[in-house]
Structure 1
């Protein structure tokens, strides 16, 4: 993937990002099975139709519990990675999600009660998960975290974490905006209190101190649109707006048009529609955390731990991003985004 151009004073930060790309290259891409994501539910999910021979290890059962909101296609990509690893590893894969921390913890408890062999969990609201993950440890069930919680995973008993360093990802976005001569972005957070989203905007603000934070209700796209439109109509200083997820960024594009605004639009995360918007020049860039890898590595690490007591990462987060996708490389990833790999 082509990296963003960063001037001399910022090369040290750029150098720090290089090992993340190397880690991401450890996992080959394979044929994927389709899936869908819904919030507030649990379901049993078979291994799928991944490529290669199925492992000859004993069958095991792994549950993934995320904070996915209904309709957010980002989580479909994570599930595809998890399902392909499950197919390879002879794993029965179970999935549940709820954006509310207390209900997410209840889903984890259900899987503990079922006696699963491993749990992968997101830590968007880590305090809500501490007690139930203590109970997983008491039950002898190993835990890894993914996507959110790179600073908290060890405190709640997870032995590995797979995701992006969100504050550095935000700083990378700020630096990319700075290259374009933009200084006053609006950073739109769709879930107040989500540690990863807050860290992204904090990272942008670290580079661009005039960054404004706008909170919206991510479960209501009509509200996202109206709030962003009103902000763009009244904020004469803003020169750019950043969405923290692909569906929200596409909504922000509509809000920009409704407001008659000339701000630049940037994003985090990826789907086919957003990749096309980058190709078309409607979105300046997106910061991709490569979620397929997060799902794949979470399941595979629990399998590796089960078969040989392996612990990937050596107690440190295994980073899957950030990776900048802009006009220089968007066409390269578009095909994969349309397939749900990116």
Structure 2
């Protein structure tokens, strides 16, 4: 909490009024994500980038590999570095693939903040200023602890982005909290909605003793909702998901999804732009990384956040 208060203190100071801001012209940052074009969850982060950029009077470019290919993402970071921006914001979708380009940017003197995927340790090892995100293993474990309390003994983790190590950490944390091996309880669902739905249905037919489901975002959650409705287990099986969307909000209200794990993506887009702007102008930066999650969205608090889904939540 102290870390977030410090960050928001910098935000408040930065918004003191135009007369208080002294900056160079054409301040520009580049945000590089691992998300494919099809992943609508990132719309909240894109919105946050726009809000922060307008408030700070800077330009922030959002770049991503259209298909989600991480080798392509590495090239995008290299290109961003070559353009000499005032700072780079990037996810650490796979530290082995991305470490070279990120370290090269740092070596050139470009300030880097990492967000979303990756760990605080990885961020430090890469030479980034700090990391803003959710400890993915811990988030999965927290969800697993709630599942264990609810009586879950066998589950399926529907992983729509299995090439991202952070997604596997979520599933592993869930399994460890239950005290079981992950094994074949994690399925590589892909992102095509029909394919996700069919793979979930096939898994549940082959493993009828499954009494828990966890999905890793709207791309896997929404087809899984359809699958459970089709096989008659919607509302009867423990179902947790990461992240939020309009369909996930409705499923929480309908009692189909038990809770959604909220990593507050708006903060992952908003805070790095504000912090890098303050760093570029005044040389100030929080000394520690910032955990933006996990929080839990249930029937009890869904009314507070559902109207903001896809824009601020």
Fold match, TM over 0.5?
yes
**Which residue does 1:222 correspond to in 2?**
194
Cα deviation digits, residues 28-75 of structure 1 (max 9, x gap): 9x9xxxxxxxxxxxxxxxxxxxx9856442231000000012221211
The equivalent of 1:89 in structure 2 is: 56
Alpha-carbon separation, structure 2, partners of 1:223 and 1:71: 15
Q: Tell me the equivalent position of 2:218.
A: 246
The question of whether the paired residues in 2 share the 8 Å contact of 1:123 and 1:146 is answered with yes
Q: Retained in 2: the 8 A contact 1:57–1:90?
A: no
The question of whether the paired residues in 2 share the 8 Å contact of 1:57 and 1:89 is answered with: no
Q: Which protein has the bigger helix share? A: 2
| Aligned counterpart in structure 2 of residue 201 of structure 1, from 171, 177, 190 | 171
Report the equivalent of 2:24. Answer: 58
Q: Distance in 1 between matches of 2:309 and 2:113?
A: 26
Structure 1 position 332, deviation (Å): 1.4
Conserved? CA contact 2:239–2:258, under 8 Å = yes
Structure 1 residues 27 and 335: CA distance shift in structure 2, 3 A: farther
Which residue in the other structure is 1:110 paired with?
A: 79
- 1:25 offset after TM fit, Å? 9.9
Partner deviation per Cα, 1:200-245 (whole Å, 9 max, x = no partner): 1111111112355322243322221111110011111210111100
**Separation in structure 1 between the aligned mates of residue 226 and residue 291 of structure 2, nearest angstrom:** 32
2:239 is equivalent to residue 269 of structure 1? no
Aligned partner of 1:38 in structure 2 is none
Per-residue Cα deviation, 1:289-314 (whole angstroms, up to 9, x for no partner): 000001111111211211122232x2
Kept in 1: contact 2:158–2:189 (CA 8 A): no
Residue matched to 1:37: none
CA deviation profile, 1:123-158 (whole Å, cap 9, x unmatched): 011111111122212322111100011231111121
Q: Contact 2:22–2:281 at 8 Å: present in 1 too?
A: no
The DSSP-based 3-state class of the residue aligned with 2:61 is: strand
Q: 8 Å contact 1:170–1:203 — kept in the other structure?
A: yes
Within a 5 Å distance, the mapping from 1:286-301 to structure 2 comes to 286-301=260-275
Matched with 1:134 is: 103
Q: In structure 2, do the counterparts of structure 1 residues 137 and 296 end up closer, same or farther at CA, with 3 Å as the change threshold?
A: same
RMSD value, Cα: 2.3
2:152 counterpart residue number: 182
Question: Residue in 2 aligned with 1:310?
Answer: 284
Partner of 1:8: none
What is the match of residue 236 of structure 1?
208
Query: What is the DSSP-based 3-state SS (H/G/I as helix, E as strand, rest coil) of the residue aligned with 2:110?
Result: coil
Equivalent pair of 2:30/2:88 in contact (CA under 8 Å): yes
2:129 is aligned to 159
Residue of structure 2 equivalent to 1:76: 43
Secondary structure (helix, strand or coil) at the match of 2:239 reads: strand
Secondary structure of 1:146's aligned partner: strand
Q: Given the superposition, is the C-alpha separation of residues 237 and 24 from structure 1 closer, same or farther in structure 2, using an over 3 Å criterion?
A: farther
Residue pairs, 1:31-42, within 5 angstroms: none
**Structure 2 unaligned blocks of 5 or more:** none
2:161 counterpart SS class: coil
Out of 290, 308, 311, the position equivalent to 1:336 is 308
Distance in 2 separating the partners of 1:102 and 1:318: 27
TM-score normalised by structure 2 residue count: 0.88
CA distance in 1, matches of 2:152, 2:304: 26
Structure 1: 5+ residue runs without aligned partners? 1-18, 31-50
